[in-house]
Amino acid sequence: MRIDGKPYRTIWLAEDGWSVEIIDQTRLPHDFATTRLTTLDEAAHAIAAMLVRGAPLIGATAAYGMALALRQDPDGIDRAYDTLLATRPTAINLRWALDRMRRRLSSLPTGERAEAAYIEAAAVCDEDVGINEAIGSHGAALIRRIAEAKPGQPVNILTHCNAGWLATVDWGTALAPIYKAFEDGIDLHVWVDETRPRNQGASLTAWELNSHGVPHTIIVDNVGGHLMQHGQVDLCITGTDRTTARGDVCNKIGTYLKALAAFDNGIPFYVALPSPTIDWTIADGVREIPIEQREGAEVSALTGRTADGRIETVTVIPDGSPVANYAFDVTPARLVTGLITERGVCAATSEGLLGLFQEKRAAE
Ligand SMILES: CSC[C@@H](O)[C@@H](O)C(=O)COP(=O)(O)O
């Protein structure tokens, strides 16, 4: 992704060769600011406080967090593993990245661990970029087919939360097909769900699409069904934080309701799925995926920029009203038209996933 003409990933090794730079996503869309991670605790804080977020980027940050930890204490694999794993419960990429790092590092002599950890973390990042670009190509082919069926009119795509460049190391998952199709000259337009309570759609997806020049419109979370009933959505594409072995998909809260509305209106509902986001150990997403509950202040307050440029937070609920803040929900596989993976599009079924990733399942 290019910001002000300069190519950026969302996480990279700093010029000193050991600290790690990230974009502080809590400051977007108002400021594009980077910040430096130098310790395990800083990496854990960046994930928990959502300076970085999105399943693939959480995994990549955890991998670098392990490298930062081992630089300080080469015997600290288990402490780093436990500290990082405790940051967020739902995105399986976190555990996937930590398991991969621990497998690679624990048999090495302590003196070799830190260097090997940096190499492995860089490999996690590079692989993420390749996976997402491939998802982009497979998904763009779907968009192209729809475009051919409605010449002279834009393809209207609805997306939820931010499964874009900012949620990954580069490209995004749900937004990768959109970027690829846009670069191929396909006429398209994106409906961006605002995605309360943290507004990742309004703040992050809209910022990304805007920076890239992709036509889009921000809508509040409950508009999607109405648009679908009136023929204004051709397809939905969302991301996923964990997909079960039978194709149930867990993503940002509200995704399930969009999938239900799409099903009722006969609109294709695709989920962009990098293979590290598959949890082969579980089948029933509703019963088995832990759903993160975050602090009530995310619901009770809104933060924004005032006309004179100050960032302010205001309360929008009555004093004393209790709040519940479920951050994710599960969309059952039967509501998912297809999974767009780095190896192609498959059915959201165990057969579909095994058809593409048999050997990965066997290796888990
Ligand atoms: C490619 S990212 C897929 C998901 O991680 C994304 O859709 C999402 O729900 C992110 O949630 P967040 O709470 O912002 O980390």
Which residues does a 6 A CB cutoff place in the pocket of ligand 1? Answer: 53-56, 91, 161, 163, 167-168, 173, 200, 239-241, 251-252, 327
240, 278, 340: residue to mutate for ligand 1 pocket, most atoms within 8 A of CB: 240
pLDDT band per the 50, 70, 90 thresholds, residue 289: very high
Assess whether pLDDT exceeds 90 at residue 363: no
- pLDDT tens figures, 164-193: 999 999 999 999 999 999 999 999 999 999
In this structure, are strands 249-252 and 328-331 parallel, antiparallel, or unpaired? antiparallel
Residue 293: count of CB within 10 angstroms of its CB:
12
For 183-201, the DSSP string reads HTT--EEEEEE--TTTTHI
Amino acid code (one letter) for 8:
Y
Residue identified by tokens 């670098």 is 64
- 185 marked as binding residue: no
What would the mean pLDDT of 39-46 be, rounded to a whole number?
98
DSSP class of residue 162 equals -
- pLDDT band at residue 2 under the 50/70/90 scheme: confident
The whole-number pLDDT of residue 364 equals: 76
Q: How far is 124 from 137, CA to CA, in rounded Å?
A: 20
Give me the domains of the chain, ranges plus CATH numbers: 2-127 (1.20.120.420), 135-363 (3.40.50.10470)
Q: Which atom of ligand 1 is nearest to the CA of 53?
A: 15
Nearest ligand 1 atom to the CA of 91 is 5
Q: What pLDDT, in 10s, does the model give residues 100-158?
A: 999 999 999 999 999 999 999 999 999 999 999 999 999 999 999 999 999 999 999 99
> What's the pLDDT score for residue 221?
98
Residue nearest to atom 10 of ligand 1 (CA): 54
* CB-CB contact of 140 with 177 (8 Å): yes
Q: For residue 209, what pLDDT band results from cuts at 50, 70 and 90?
A: very high
Which residues touch 318 (CB under 8 Å, ≥6 apart)?
none
User: What mean pLDDT is predicted for residues 10-15?
Assistant: 98
Tell how far the Cα of 320 is from the centroid of ligand 1, in angstroms.
Answer: 30
- List residues bridging with 103 in a β-sheet: none
For residue 5, pLDDT beyond 90:
no
pTM of the complete model beyond 0.80: yes
CA of 75 to the centre of ligand 1 (A): 32
- Taking alpha carbons only, the member of 182, 174, 254, 172 closest to residue 219 is 254
Q: Where are the alpha helices (DSSP H) in the chain?
A: 40-48, 55-72, 77-85, 92-105, 110-149, 175-183, 200, 206-212, 224-229, 255-264, 285-288, 297-300, 350-363
Classify the complex by whether its ipTM is higher than 0.90, answering yes or no: yes
pLDDT band at 327, cuts 50/70/90? Answer: very high
Q: How many residues does the chain have?
A: 364
Angstrom distance (rounded) from CA 273 to CA 353: 10
Catalytic residues: 241
Going by alpha carbons, the residue nearest to atom 1 of ligand 1 is 163
Question: 251 a known binding residue?
Answer: yes
Q: Are strands 249-252 and 242-244 parallel, antiparallel or unpaired?
A: antiparallel
- Reference 243, options 214, 280, 207, 195; nearest CA is 280
pLDDT score of 70 more than 90:
yes
